[in-house]
Structure 1
Amino acid sequence: MAHTLHRVALGSGWSLFEAGTRIEDAVAVKSVPSVVHIDLVEAHRIPDPFIGFNELEVQWVAERRWTYRTTIRRPDVREGTRVALVFEGLDTFAEVRLNGRSILKSENMFLSHRCDVTELVKPNVDNELHIEFDSALLRGREIEKEHPEYRFLSVASIPGENGRVGVRKAQYHWGWDWGPVLMTAGPWRPVWLETYQSRISDMWFDIEVSMDHKVAFGKIFIQSEGSSQSVKVEATLDGTVVFEHEVHTGADGLSIVDVKFGEPITFETYMGSANACAENPKLWYPRGYGSQPLYQIRAKLHDDGGLLDEILKNIGIRRAELVQDKDEIGECFYFRVNGVDIFAAGSNWIPADNFLPRITEQKYRDWLQLAVEGRQNMVRVWGGGIYEDEKFYDICDELGIMVWQDFMFACASYPTYPEMLASIEDEARCNLRRLRHHPSIVLYAGNNEDYQMQEMWKLDYVKEDKDPQSWLNSTFPARYIYEKLLPDITAEEVPNVAYWPSSPFSKGEICNDLTIGDVHQWNGNQEKYQAYERIGGRFNSEFGLEAFPALQTIKAFVPESADLHPRSAVMDFHNKAEGHERRIGLYQAENFRPVVSLEAFIYLTQVSQSEAMYFAYKPWRRQYGEKRHCGGALVWQINDCWPCTSWALVDYYLRKKPAYYTIARCLAPIAAGVQREYRDWSVMHARPAKTTKWKFWVASMRLDPLEAQVELRFLSIKTGKDLKPVWRKTCTIVPNGTTVILGGETQNEKEEPHVLAARVFVDGLCVARDTDWPQPLKYHSFAERGLNVTKSGNTLRVSTEKPVKALVVEETDGVKFGDNCLDVVPGDEQTIEIKQGDVDVGRLIWRYLGCEEGMRFTQREAKI
């Protein structure tokens, strides 16, 4: 009788103790996966590092050596069965001992490991399992000294800790400009005990889509260990079997002993007589451009006694391309999936917690669902974090979110001594093989901003030099990693996914070339956010503006009520951005009138972030439709790893900032756009230009043309009256592009300040609206707006007598709105759907420009 592979999670029964202390002083570990900080907080040995200044109180943890201990029992299994311990992730310098014998040493957080312990696990006794973790902080410092031939250079981390670049660990653990210094250690991913006679060690796919997208063809590969007779492969779609096939595995299976050192058996399963071939396959598309069908592929390994092992993976069939054609500007940069050009709009993703085991599947889903509800179709997994858990990519596959995946290098000049290169190769292959079946991953990038570092430090980089060996002897040896090692491995492991050397990167003279490649637009000259239209590149893979989180979030990390003001020490401590006081203060002074309370200050920082995103996404989406001049926009960032002030659209507790909604409206399937040309008022000392040009357009994601009725109004800010006759027209909106509707000029010396208000109607329904306001907003009075809000069922209805800017309904936990941060003009009632929870209008707080301190009112008193 066959012995089916059996897997037991070693999640309980662990304890933790510091090296050099008594085992009797160990603390109980609630569960594994875990890291030291989680267990010490649980045992009340350290305070919560996320509150107040507690981050400083726990720095000693990073300098100690720690041991996780448990016992295991040898399973009662038949002769010939193998026993293995599987460690999916050990953070970072770890030695595993079983009954005092060393069975594994690891120095790379991003690797998984299998240890055959068949001969080491004693029967009928408790077997001692220890995982000893050394200090990554101290080891990094040692490695730096051990390799004086390399310049260990880093930025965006804590001062003086260049040792991080010699350690294959999540780089943000050393601190970043949005995160704390919390150097973790521990079994951060699951630990398993496996028993088996034979097993399937991997299954992967090489399936291509024909140019006409009518046929998908290729192979399924299954890799097995041990002896078996056959493997049966079955594919289903929506519960229906679409093919099944069984082949012999051959008589010469490898034993478990040979697996580590020998070459595993590889065999191919063909669907049909020659290749796997599905006519008119159901293709996977990014969200907004089509559906996301996923085929379930199941392989079962058999011998005469029955089932030995099985594996199941979901795949999406798609053809993804990175298009880089020369044009009149330089070279385009955008994605094409199944022949459809895609405007890649979304966010950068950082690890969602400093303590990674806290990130559950549900948390992944909650975060990624927010991205989808915000009409985002791409996330970029940033190179200073981790290769995320399998569930992250499963959910992206399911929801239709494309993934730009960085390799884990960020903001540094990395060394290339032989042991480092070998570790990087193991890391790359391990993670590419783990992730290669996910249709959501459409690009791998070598690193984050390392070429910017090369430029800043003036390290060697001669584009014409194509000899990889010479790069290793230069002052920028990491070029070998990004332009030789990683692209070669990626081509071998995932040949159907594009590779890009870095983010940002270009084929021009500088990596942040606005005409070629992707750019990180951090506006070093501190230009006004109204200028985003002209400082964007061909693909804007990083940009953003900081904003305070929700008041509830601030109260969670500020323990003393006396510190609840915008410039308290603890508030500054929870904003790690260098010079954040100047950055935030500058944008406040340039655009808004001063306020007094913390609540009003929070509101204005959030409005400035919202406005900045509006001035970025709106014109860049228009430029996409204009000959693909802009291929995408990924804001920095969607999420936080701890409660803080940062660039995140949604804070650590998943509380949305207003910019989240503003971006969602910019990314609607049909989006109206009206905008005056940018003029820097400070250069003109607040004197307006005599005339200002403006344009009105409609951007469509639809793949078919449609008839629409468009409308443009000119409304006085002071009175709310129409200053000119309403302009209306019926026109055809081009598919997957931009339709220019109208252009004109504002006579600033003759016309009073007014709002341009555009709407788009399809079949009598308003599907898009937009407003453009004369800048800066601080020059205009927003007193006595005549705002009226009523509740009808699960809908808030909003109308006004005079134009209202940035109406924000303060959100509370448990309540979910369909929209927020609205510009409202007379004669155009808007609605906010209450999608979750019950709302008492009388308990809500409302703010808009001119009413920053907020107002609470009942439904009967809803007129302001």
Structure 2
Amino acid sequence: MLEASPLVDGWILRHEGEALAASVPGCVHTDLLAAGVIPDPFVGRGEREVAWVGRREWTYERELPGVPSGHEQTDLVFDGLDTAAEILLDGRLLGSVRNMHRSYRFDVTGASGRLTVRFASAYAEAEAVRGRLGERPAAYAEPYQYLRKMACSFGWDWGPTLVTAGIWRPVRLERWSTARIARVRPLVTVEQGAGVVELRVEVERTRVEAGLTVTARVGGAKAHARVEGTSAVVRLEVPGARLWWPRGYGGQPLYDVELTLDQEGEALDSWRRRIGFRTVGLDRRPDAHGTGFTLVVNGERLFARGVNWIPDDAFPSRMTRERYRERLRQAAGAGVDLVRVWGGGIYESEDFYDACDELGLLVWQDFPFACAAYPEEQPLRGEVEAEARENVVRLMPHPSLVLWNGNNENLWGFRDWGWEGRLAGDSWGEGYYLGVLPRVVAESDPTRPYTAGSPWSGSWAHHPNDPAHGTHHSWEVWNRRDYAEYRAEVPRFVAEFGWQAPPAYATLRRALPGEELAADSPGMLHRQKADDGDGKLARGLARHFAAPEGDFDRWHYLTQVNQARAVAAGIEHWRSHWPVCAGTVVWQLNDCWPVTSWAAIDGDGREKPLYHELRRLYADRLLTLQVRGEGLVSAAVNQSAEPWTGVLRLRRMTVDGEVLGTADVQLAAGARAVGVARVPAELEPTGAKEFLVADAEELRALYFPLPDRDIPYPAPEFEVSVAPGSVTVTALTLVRDLLLQADRLGPDARADRGLVTLLPGERVTIGVTGWETPDADAARAALYCLEPSR
């Protein structure tokens, strides 16, 4: 039977003649940090102090133990090397590698001695390739498009420039005889009520002998097949298999698949995975509105409630199974049912996809290409196809994976960012997105759809970012306009949009110790990576609120309010136009370090107000008030399986609490549908002091006709009481966008809700965890709300 021995201990990292203890898996930065050689790049402006690390060559070493007899072959297996490296054993070159996204296997049968992994600087490798293949344009000046490495290692508009190197995934020795399982492609389908698994198996052999057999088991079914040459196909049917569904649509039953390879009854190797039975498709048919983009799972058409996922740590080797699960549980807790793994990062570990399988989170997987023209010549072309084939097969078992996507914004960039003229006919990646990658997916994983890019209209017949065709990235609003303009169009699928805000206060205090915080203090400026990001934040804020001059706490609160308001403006509008619009994917769920960004969860894992707002926006039932045509409508968005009927109570009010008029309107929305009703004209608010309240069951929608800066809010008055695990606020006036910043009570404190608006006399109880000594004065000091414009 194949035996595997992890090579975890005994590694050293060579640094200026010294041998430092090294962690494997790991990276140079984390080893240097552990040894006290470099400061924490996440604290202060430490990022700048460690820039030299990415420019150096680095060497990892350990003894490779002698291999006991009893097996015919011994392989040295690296699951991931970052990125350009030579592997040597006692000075003999085993091989050279240049792709972070691949695994590698070397025959070391009968060998032992000093194992050396010598990493070149990623900059040196990238610049050498650029010198051979020529310059290619990109969104950033760093040379990330010239090697197969996590692009955001080189910095992004939310990420630090920390160019890593190291053995970032596990390494082991595998000892085996006769044959081993080299690859398994599980094609999982549903046919006439039965779950069907077809396992396409490839084996590696030390010698050609007859009698190799594969046996597969799943869900009580069992089947055998003989290995012919180096391949076999075994098919199993599971009658009555329960379907795997995305969260909110059904359960997530998972089935264990076990495959064994044996010779005349002797087990040689085994392969185990979990699968789920479901069908998935992508409806891209043209219609009266353009070209659709609707995910279909088990025949059910979905409005995708999505978030974009970036690497959760700038040093991905630090990610653990527990941390993946924590972050993805947060996503599910916000009502998310789709996570897009963005193309400037990595193919994530099995832990990520396992958690998505269990939580019912659909996965949209980008191939790792982002915001650049990528050369298509060697040595990159062969690496791209090899990594695609490996990772498509690796991730195939996961039922959560429903879409392969060729790239992020490169087709758009070619058309709109001045690339075409600069390239002058040079290759730029089109051959990957419209040739290599769809071919690999069709050959290896025909059970899932592929799309060439995001955004992408489906063909060059339409602009790549045409909102009427395919996927759309809505960035003009953040870059140049007011977020109210999200309501100006109804894209078919919004794959990226978002608004910035700083991280939680406690996160800033940890990351910037001793700094007097201000919007433009040195540490805050260092944590604004977006082009004119602070200018866009300020202009976006000024359209709605009076500027909080010199008051960091108010600025911090208002920018977080504005982020939640902006995202709400888009999602409420687009969800209310289902099925024309079939999904929103917020940029972004998470951060990889403490930074001002578009994230809903900051770099320390703390939830911004946007996170809690997503819980409302992505709930199965959403109530919203929208301007359509000449008046107001209420939209009841119902993504549940049951019809939603009832009475919608409307109240026209003043900010001083006076009720000017009321009406009851019948609410009716079918299952997975939207019900729209006209608001009576006499209830539409006029002037700065009026607003409209809509209540149905436990849901509420508000409509204010003017920006907050023009509304004469009363001075907020409220009472506060505390109890173990809760803070209760009773409003004596209108209290707009009340927020308990729980992390100001203590760095471990968390609140169970975000922004809430209370009418006079209303009360809210906010659950708080991690706060050991409840105190009413401390709670009041941590409460923020809108105040009259000064």
TM-score (norm 1): 0.86
Distance 1:574 1:792, change over 3 A: closer
Residue 392 to residue 70, structure 1, CA distance change in 2 (3 Å) = same
Aligned to 1:660: 611
Q: 2:54 matched to which residue of 1? A: 62
2:214 maps to which residue? Answer: 231
User: Cα offset for 1:12?
Assistant: 1.3
Cα distance in 2 for residues equivalent to 1:706 and 1:63? 60
The residue number in structure 1 matching 2:223 is: 245
2:650 alignment counterpart: 712
The answer to whether the Cα contact below 8 Å between 1:454 and 1:476 also exists between their aligned partners in 2 is no
Q: Is residue 154 of structure 1 aligned with residue 147 of structure 2?
A: no
Q: Does 1:37 align with 2:15?
A: no
Q: How does 1:509-588 map to 2 (within 5 A)?
A: 509-523=462-476, 526-562=480-516, 564-588=517-541
Kindly report the root-mean-square deviation, in angstroms, between the aligned alpha carbons of the 2 structures.
Answer: 2.4
Q: 1:808 is matched with which residue?
A: 739
2:119 is the alignment partner of 1:133: yes
Q: Quote the residue 1:268 is aligned against.
A: 233
Match of 1:820 among 754, 761, 773: 754
Other-structure match for 2:188:
207
Q: Which residue of structure 1 lines up, in the alignment, with residue 572 of structure 2?
A: 618
- Is contact 1:84-1:194 (8 Å) kept? yes
Which of residues 389, 396, 403 is equivalent to 1:429?
A: 389
Residue 90 of structure 2 aligns with an amino acid whose one-letter code is N
Aligned counterparts of 1:61 and 1:449: Cα–Cα separation in 2: 30
Which of 712, 721, 724 is the matching residue for 2:658? Answer: 721
- Distance (Å, rounded) in 2 between the aligned partners of 1:72 and 1:811: 51
Distance 1:731-1:555 versus aligned 2 partners, 3 A rule:
closer
Q: How big is the shift at 1:536?
A: 4.6
Which digits, 9 at most, give the CA deviation of each residue in 1:668-709, with x for residues without a partner? 11111123469xxxxxxxxxxxxx721112111112324323
Identify if the C-alpha distance between structure 1 residues 152 and 207 changes in structure 2 by more than 3 Å, giving closer, same or farther: same
* Cα offsets for 1:411-430 (capped at 9, x unmatched): 11111113321111101101
Take 2:680 and 2:171, find their aligned partners in 1: how far apart are those partners? Answer: 65
Contact kept in structure 1, 2:712 and 2:788, CA below 8 Å: no
Aligned-partner SS, 1:412:
coil
- Distance in 1 between the 2:434 and 2:335 partners? 34
Is it true that 1:384 corresponds to 2:344 in the alignment?
yes
Specify whether residues 769 and 458 from structure 1 end up closer, same or farther in structure 2 by C-alpha distance, changes over 3 A only: same
Query: Residues 811 and 422 of structure 1: is their aligned pair in 2 closer, same or farther, counting only changes over 3 Å?
Result: same
Shift of 1:300: 2.4
1:10 aligned to which of 7, 11, 16: 7
> CA-to-partner distance for each residue in 1:511-534, whole Å, 9 max, x for gaps?
110100111111166221112122
Aligned counterpart for 1:699 among listed residues 625, 637, 657? 637
Task: Give the aligned residue type for 1:736.
Answer: R
The code of the aligned residue for 1:615 comes to A
Q: Residues 809 and 476 (structure 1 numbering): CA distance in 2 closer, same or farther, change over 3 Å?
A: same
- Counterpart in the other structure of 1:740: 676
Structure 1 contact 375–667 (Cα < 8 Å) conserved: yes
Cα deviation 1:705-760 (Å, max 9, x = unaligned): 2432322222211x2121102x2245443110101133344788966622322222
Q: Does structure 2 conserve the Cα–Cα contact (< 8 Å) formed by 1:460 and 1:476? A: no
* C-alpha contact (below 8 Å) 1:674/1:694 kept by paired residues: yes
1:178 is aligned to 158
The one-letter amino acid paired with 2:480 is Q
For residue 195 of structure 2, what is the amino acid of its counterpart? A
The alpha-carbon distance between structure 1 residues 143 and 537, as it changes in their structure 2 partners (threshold 3 A), is: same
Task: State the percentage of identical aligned residues.
Answer: 32
Q: Aligned with 1:609: secondary structure?
A: helix
Residues 234-292 of structure 1: CA deviation (Å, up to 9, x unaligned): 214xxxxx322344446x6xxxxxxxxxxxx221223xxxxx32333211111111111
1:464 corresponds in structure 2 to none
In structure 2, the CA distance between the partners of 1:651 and 1:459, relative to structure 1 (3 Å rule), is: closer
Cα offset for 1:833?
A: 3.9
Q: Return the alpha-carbon distance in structure 2 between the equivalents of residues 746 and 517 of structure 1.
A: 40
The match for 2:175 is 195
Query: 77, 83, 88: which one pairs with 1:92?
Result: 83
- For the residue of structure 2 that corresponds to 1:154, the secondary structure is coil
State the partner residue of 1:589. Answer: 542
| 1:438-466 per-position Cα deviation (integer Å, ceiling 9, x unaligned) | 111111111111122212354559xxxxx
- Correspondence 1:397 to 2:373: no
The 1:200/1:216 distance shift into structure 2, 3 A limit, reads same
Deviation at 1:783, TM superposition (A): 3.2
Cα distance in 2 for residues equivalent to 1:782 and 1:709: 29
Equivalent residue runs for 1:491-502 within 5 Å: 491-502=442-453
Moved more, 215-224 or 511-520: 215-224
In structure 1, the residue matched to 2:712 is: 781
Among 693, 699, 702, the residue aligned to 1:771: 702
Q: Which of 620, 625, 630 in structure 2 is aligned with 1:674?
A: 625
The within-5 A match list for 1:280-429 is: 280-304=240-264, 306-429=266-389
Whether 1:28 aligns to 2:21 is yes
- Quick one: which amino acid aligns to residue 277 of structure 1? E
The more displaced of 421-430 and 592-601 is: 592-601
SS at match of 1:429: helix
CA contact (8 A) 1:815 1:839 kept: no
Counterpart residue type for residue 329 of structure 1: H
Letter in 2 for 1:783: P
SS in 1 for 2:379: helix
8 Å CA contact 1:521–1:535 kept in 2: the answer is no
Show the 5 A alignment for 1:460-475.
Answer: 460=420, 474-475=425-426
Q: Is the 8 A contact 2:66 2:110 kept in 1?
A: no
Paired with 2:789 and 2:35, the residues of 1 have a C-alpha distance of: 43
Q: Is the 8 A contact 2:256 2:272 kept in 1?
A: yes
Q: Which segments of 5 or more consecutive residues in structure 2 lack a partner in the other structure?
A: none
1: distance between equivalents of 2:771 and 2:169?
35
Instruction: Note closer, same or farther for the CA distance 1:225–1:779 as it changes in structure 2 (3 Å cut).
Output: same
Answer whether contact 2:515 2:523 (CA < 8 A) is retained. Answer: no
CA 1:458–1:584 in 2, change beyond 3 Å: closer, same or farther?
Answer: closer
Greater shift in the superposed pair: 85-94 or 50-59: 50-59
Looking at structure 1, the residues matched to 535 and 616 of structure 2 have their Cα atoms a distance apart, in angstroms, of 30
> Shift of residue 550 of structure 1?
0.9
User: What is the Cα deviation at residue 224 of structure 1?
Assistant: 3.0
Q: Residues of 1 paired with 2:682 and 2:336: CA distance? A: 34
Contact residue 218 and residue 238 of structure 2 kept, 8 A: no
- Aligned equivalents of 1:741, 1:408: Cα separation in 2: 44
Shift of 1:207: 2.6
- In the alignment, structure 1 residue 647 sits paired with structure 2 residue 598: yes
Deviation at 1:387, TM superposition (A): 0.8
**1:62: Cα distance to partner?**
1.4
DSSP 3-state at the match of 2:126? helix
Q: How many Å apart are 1:9 and its aligned residue?
A: 1.4
Label 1:800 to 1:145 Cα distance change in 2 as closer, same or farther (>3 A): same
Q: 2:623, 2:636 within 8 Å by CA — same for their partners in 1? A: yes
* Residues 18-67 of structure 1: CA deviation (Å, up to 9, x unaligned): 4xx43xx12111x2011111111111111111122221111111111110
Quote the Cα distance in structure 2 between the aligned partners of 1:203 and 1:553: 44
Quickly say closer, same or farther: Cα 1:701–1:119, change in 2 above 3 A. same
Structure 2 SS opposite 1:641: coil
Say if 2:688 and 2:710, in contact at 8 Å, map to a contact too. Answer: no
Q: Is 1:165 aligned to residue 145 of structure 2?
A: yes
**Hey, what's the Cα distance between the residues in 2 that align with 1:732 and 1:677?**
18
